[in-house]
Amino acid sequence: MEQNMPHVKLTVSLAISLTPEHRERCLHCIESRLAASPGIRQARVLAQPSAEGGNGRYLVELEYDPSELSRAQINDYLRHAGGCLAVAKVPPVDAQTPGPQMPGWLALGVRSPDVVLAVLAGIFLAGGWTAHLMKGPESVRLALVIASYVCGAWFPAFELWHTISKFRVDIDLLMFAAAFGAASLGHYEEGAMLLFLFSLGGAGERLAMDRARRAIEALTALAPKTATLLLPDGKTRQIPVEELRVGDKVLVRPGDQVPSDGRIETGSSSINQAPITGESTPVDKGPGDEVFAGTINGQGMLTVTVSKPASDTTLAKVIRMVQEAQASKSPTQLFTDRVERIYVPLVLVATAALVVLPPLLHLIPRQESGALWKGWFYQAMAFLTAASPCALAIGTPAAVLSGIARAARGGMLVKGGVHLENLGRVRAVAFDKTGTLTRGRPEVTDLIAVGNGMNELQLLEIAAAIERGSKHPIAQAIVAEADARRCPYSVAGDVEQTPGFGIRGTIAGRRITIGKLAMFPAALDGREAIAGRIADLESQGRSTVVVADDQCVLGAIGLADRPRDGVAEMIADLHTLGIRKTIMLTGDNARTAAAVCRSIGIDEYLADLLPEEKRDKVAELDTHYGRVAMVGDGINDAAAMATATVGIAVGGATGTGSDVALETADIALLANDMGKLPEAIGVSRFARRIVIQNLFLALGVICVVAPLAALGRTDIWLAVLLHEGSTVVVVLNSLRILAYRAPRRRAGL
């Protein structure tokens, strides 16, 4: 029974004090220590927005077996892992508050002491080298070199001690062994240069990763802090957004941020949704339209009814999910982590072998053993430096983080490195039709009046009177068309709706029925005459309903769910990117599906599908093409999206299915812009190319320089330059992803 007990997921908030220069290593260590605890299957540590500079609250996600662990034991693990337990819930998202301003150099020293000490290490090293070259006093030279050692080793030494105390070995140990090994042979400047470049590379790596994080954490600055609450007596009051309750009315003035998700009660304006969805132009909105926290009001005054608390807004969910995405690792990153755990001890063993084996194997003549042993020891230190996998360790996470940040900035929420990597490998894309490729709402396109004395407006008036109380999309489209044409307002009575068949009602004593042609008897007057025209409309992708009374057919109404703007260009862009197959999976009829496919240029369609049939087709595509993406609205496509390699939801911050889209999809395109799909694939492929480049560079330097160092063909200083240089190059290469620009849309050419 215990073996079948499901694992439980728990999220807690910890108060952890970490300096910026130690944050990455310490958080990784906390994760590793928790994951190694008995009963815990998985552990992740996520920085909350308030954890500025490393200090603050961190979310710890645990997956554990309740049959092996109690909550008291978990609390004990957490306390020993690096913090004190506070509350077992996710706290509300809060924006960062900027601290007091300080002079530039003082601010740099407080916020980035690792950078300051690395620079000082370089200055002291340059001074010591100058003293050596100019034949200055030996004491001055040694003092400057020792100062360089202290500055360069200061922060790495703390990390080394932290690692050794946990009985683990990593890159820090390799660097210290090489630096002090060189010093033991009298090569003080070379050892100091190693520590200087190692500390400088570590500081630069942190700054680069912080830059990528700032692109993500900029989302937190979008969260408004206060709202203008509209009181029942008409007065207003400023309150924190956390105090807003569902149903409250807030006033949004021109230029203000919308404080919470809600619906417009009064007023109209253009809303800048770019901070959330990445849409380049403001969206006109009026009464009844939905608005989102963090978006910016244009010129109009709005009254908005709050629909969600501050902790549950679309913006808050996006922030939480992006933070979770930062902590998740791609398959490549997991692979390099496993390699590093095995590789570092092997390097230490190989280094020891270079030092010990030559005397044991009599490779050194006894009379020359002292001098030659020093030569072998020097070669071993050069090998140790060259073989250290610094660039290998940082290349993948830096690229993944930059890719997630770039996608988030463009309104594309990627929920982890695994999905970022998989999206770049997709070779087939399946689409839902309604609400994904099409607008999701039918519009009246044709009015056919055939009854005696009946014209189009009269037909529309009768149909609208019957349909006015219905929530069906076709009914709403007919009513909207009647209102747009200013048809006279008629009232129907005795309205009865039968799902799947149609709707009936009475107008001025006449019993009117609206429904599919098949539900009317063949003998009904006018049915045969209108059947051919209905077939023509359906062959063009139209949906049709027939309007009739008890004696004859009055007419028919054609409706179409039009393709979204830019869908045809998006399909063409996917083919340009090398996507081998695009297919539409729909529950609609074959004629409608064929018409949509012809209009947008999609390769293939399958119609009349049930949700489970969509899922099976996605599985078949995955088998045939290797990797497939399923694009849908996140509601009725959940099974197919879960089966696909990557599930993608469209309109995660603008559609009625936004909550489901954000929760269920691997990737959410927050805007209703299908052009974001090729852009997301482009970001993913660019990030994947960067990861491959980083791996080849890191492994190439190790494979070339390490053997040369072992054979005595490379000095320590050259090994240091190549080793640290490759680390800097992979970090800078990863930052290129932040500057990725999508190719211009075809419509704009």
Active site residues: 432
Side by side, the strands of the sheet bearing 8-16 are 40-47, 56-64, 8-16, 84-87
89 Rama class: left (phi>0) / alpha (psi -120 to 50) / beta: beta
Among 587, 597, 678, 594, CA closest to 633: 587
- What tokens does 554 get? 């009055």
Among 677, 679, 680, 688, CA closest to 743: 679
The C-alpha atoms of residue 684 and residue 670 are separated, in whole angstroms, by: 17
Q: What one-character-per-residue DSSP string does 99-147 give?
A: -----HHHHHHHH-HHHHHHHHHHHHHHHHHHHHHTT--HHHHHHHHHH
In 3-state terms, what secondary structure has residue 204?
Answer: helix
Reduce the secondary structure of 381-448 to three states and give it as a string. HHHHHHHCCHHHHHHHHHHHHHHHHHHHHCCEEECCHHHHHHHCCCCEEEEEHHHHHECCCCEEEEEE
Among 151, 195, 352, 112, CA closest to 723: 195
Q: Which residues contact residue 205 at a Cβ distance below 8 angstroms, ignoring those fewer than 6 apart?
A: 394, 398, 727, 731
Question: Rounded to 10 degrees, what is the CA torsion of 139, 140, 145, 147?
Answer: 110
Among 494, 318, 522, CA closest to 407: 318
Are 668 and 649 within 8 A, CB to CB? yes
Helices (H), 294-330: 314-327
Query: Which residue bears the tokens 């400047």?
Result: 189
The C-alpha atoms of residue 47 and residue 497 are separated, in whole angstroms, by: 53
Q: What angle do CA 685, 688, 692 make, to 5 degrees?
A: 140
Report CA 338 to chain centroid distance, whole Å: 24
The C-alpha atoms of residue 90 and residue 469 are separated, in whole angstroms, by: 42
The C-alpha atoms of residue 627 and residue 179 are separated, in whole angstroms, by: 47
Among 509, 518, 516, CA closest to 551: 509
| Strand-pair category, 443-449 with 553-560 | antiparallel
State the helix-helix crossing angle for 113-133 and 188-217, rounded to 10 degrees: 160
Are 184 and 149 within 8 A, CB to CB? no
The C-alpha atoms of residue 420 and residue 407 are separated, in whole angstroms, by: 9
Q: How many helices (H) and strands (E) does the chain have?
A: 23, 26
Q: Which residues contact residue 322 at a Cβ distance below 8 angstroms, ignoring those fewer than 6 apart?
A: 216, 219, 404, 408, 413
Give CA separation, 278 vs 88, 125, 262, 357, 716, in Å. 34, 48, 20, 62, 49
Side by side, the strands of the sheet bearing 236-240 are 236-240, 226-230, 249-252, 302-306, 262-266, 290-291
Question: Rounded to 10 degrees, what is the CA torsion of 163, 167, 172, 176?
Answer: 120
State the helix-helix crossing angle for 20-35 and 188-217, rounded to 10 degrees: 80
Q: Which residues in 561-640 belong to E strands, given as ranges?
A: 581-585, 604-606, 628-632
Question: Residue 489 phi/psi, 5° resolution?
Answer: -85, 115
Among 677, 633, 627, CA closest to 655: 633
